[in-house]
Amino acid sequence: MRLSRYFLPVLKETPAEAQIASHRLMLRAGMIKQASAGIYSWLPLGFKVLRKLENIVHEEQVRAGHTPMLMPTLQSADLWRESGRYDDYGEEMLRITDRQGRDLLYGPTNEELITDIFRSHVGSYKDLPLTLYHIQWKFRDEIRPRFGVMRGREFFMKDGYNFDLTKEDALHAYNRHMVSYLRTYERMGLQAIPMRADSGPIGGDDTHEFLVLAETGESEVFYDSAITDLKLGDRSVDYDDWDQCASIVKEWTTPYARTDETHDDAKFNEVPEARRMKSRGIEVGQIFYFGTKYSEAMGATVQGKDGKPVPVHMGSHGIGVSRLVGAIIEASHDDKGIIWPEGVTPFHVGIVNVKQGDSEADAACDAIYKSIEALGLEPLYDDTSDRAGAKFATQDLIGLPWRITVGPRGLKNGVVELTCRRTGASEELPPEQAVEKIAEIYTPHHHTERPEPMAKRSFHTWM
Ligand code: ATP
Ligand code: MG
């Protein structure tokens, strides 16, 4: 993409309404614009990151054996009356009446809708196990929307639902979700720690939240620092292998890690003092096993092996996709701007032409641009007539992990400059070598962190 043809409305001033870094940086980098309280338009750069996260979530869900679909945002109140949650959910639910006087609501979550689909179409234990999910906008009329997309009223969420014949099957589904979530966050360059949590209005006995450590997080968290050393890395996971999934879950749930809701001082004090950490965290996902709560209330049964109807065991699992955009920035920025992890960056490399209009510099930039595109990667070429200082400031603000700087002086010696956004380290090298380095950086040695070059895959590898 050439910046002169893009829409990147960066702000020079720090917006007064933004209290935390991610909100400030998303506004300044032209990623979002508030439409009304807690509701945002996603401008091109923000939209690109949101789509990248969505794609990673899809890929990892499909890899785990879960099936994508799409349910509507507006739901009938009657279904929620069946489960009893129409009254229980409270003021966070946005209730709407249509011209026929029918009660609708903008879905805050989808347990009722999916259970209705299930009971209409699935009749036998032979159809199980089944896990369906979608990624769709939700609405919760939060009393105090704040921190930009982190606590919005309209937000984008992956929610998945498993249907199983027995509790054991459903617990495997729980484990499978935990493992797939760990992989998802790792691919986004994030560490999200599963913490034992409270079940809240969804109900149920088994639940973990995934928290990204950040000072600005809304949850108070207590953990054994040993958990921060755990990494899935590139180990291969067989999601049908119950023992492997269970042992990964055990690895991550053995060290103490809880939110204030379930914190237990006596247990925490058993952790060696040097490893006892108290901090804050951002909730980026949650998984639940809730047994037969919805299936019993809504008659979602299957014919069991003995021919008798049995209510299915269910769980639900959510990832806050739009919140993650903010959470990644909270975890990865400096005083100059965002620093995107390579797996989610909106563009793979920035090209800065310090002397636009100089025929040699222009030609070198064009050549680099074409070779990067030929790798299946996306460059963002600043071909505007801004002065060099302004171009660098924009690059730092929008946080692309790599920058190639091209100018007449370097070109005289046959070199351009390759700069790493995270470390600030630069090296001078011939343009072809700079491109080779970029190719190397984005080659997937490490399948959990680096994206495969786009050219090698279809647009939606998860479909
Ligand atoms: P919170 O405790 O932060 O209000 P929740 O526990 O009510 O969240 P869940 O029902 O577990 O939320 O939803 C799944 C995920 O959706 C959460 O882990 C979070 O990442 C995201 N999410 C929930 N509420 C919001 C919101 N208002 N804005 C953005 N993302 C949200
Ligand atoms: Mg939650």
Residue whose CB lies within 8 A of the most ligand 1 atoms, among 134, 157, 261, for a mutation test: 157
Atom of ligand 1 nearest to the CA of 197: 6
CA separation for the pair 462, 58 (Å, rounded): 6
Global pTM? 0.95
Q: Does 451 have pLDDT greater than 80?
A: no
Ligand whose nearest atom lies closest to the CA of 149: 1
Task: Please state, as a whole number, how many other Cβ atoms lie within 10 Å of the Cβ of residue 6.
Answer: 15
| CA 207–ligand 1 middle distance (angstroms) | 14
Residue whose CB lies within 8 A of the most ligand 1 atoms, among 144, 193, 283, 328, for a mutation test: 283
Give per-residue pLDDT as tens, 274-309.
999 999 999 999 999 999 988 998 889 999 999 999
Residues 6+ apart with CB under 8 A from 339: 332, 333, 399, 401, 421, 422
Give per-residue pLDDT as tens, 293-351.
889 988 899 999 999 999 999 999 999 999 999 999 999 999 999 999 999 999 999 99
| CA 318–ligand 2 middle distance (angstroms) | 8
323 lines ligand 1 (CB under 6 A): yes
Domain ranges of the chain: 21-338, 349-441
Beta strand segments in 128-275, E: 130-139, 154-164, 192-196, 206-213, 219-224, 257-259
| CA 269–ligand 1 middle distance (angstroms) | 29
In this structure, are residues 210 and 193 in contact, taking their beta carbons and an 8 Å threshold?
A: yes
Burial classification of residue 40, based on how many CB atoms lie within 10 Å of its CB (0-12 exposed, 13-18 middle, 19 or more buried) = buried
Q: Transcribe 234-246 into DSSP letters.
A: T----TT-HHHHH
| CA 286–ligand 2 middle distance (angstroms) | 5
Give per-residue pLDDT as tens, 106-141.
999 999 999 999 999 999 999 999 999 999 999 999
Which residue has a Cα nearest atom 19 of ligand 1?
320
Give the pLDDT band of residue 454 (cuts 50, 70, 90): very low
| CA 318–ligand 1 middle distance (angstroms) | 8
Which residue has a Cα nearest atom 8 of ligand 1?
283
Which residue has a Cα nearest atom 21 of ligand 1?
320
207 lines ligand 1 (CB under 6 A): no
Residues with CB under 5 A from ligand 2 (ion): 286
Give per-residue pLDDT as tens, 365-376.
999 999 999 999
Q: Transcribe 271-291 into DSSP letters.
A: S-GGGEEEEEEEEEEEEEEEE
Q: Transcribe 389-415 into DSSP letters.
A: HHHHHHHHHHT-SEEEEE-HHHHHTT-
Bridge partners of 162, per DSSP, are 131, 315
Give the pLDDT band of residue 444 (cuts 50, 70, 90): confident
| CA 173–ligand 1 middle distance (angstroms) | 21
21-338 is a CATH 3.90.1580.10 domain: no
188: tokens are 């986004």
Which residue has a Cα nearest atom 13 of ligand 1?
318
142 lines ligand 1 (CB under 6 A): yes
Ligand whose nearest atom lies closest to the CA of 157: 1
Ligand whose nearest atom lies closest to the CA of 319: 1
349-441 belongs to which homologous superfamily?
Answer: Anticodon-binding domain (3.40.50.800)
Atom of ligand 1 nearest to the CA of 318: 14
CA separation for the pair 54, 187 (Å, rounded): 12
Residue whose CB lies within 8 A of the most ligand 1 atoms, among 323, 325, 328, 329, for a mutation test: 323
Q: Running DSSP on this structure, what letter comes out for residue 149?
A: G
Q: Does 449 have pLDDT greater than 90?
A: no
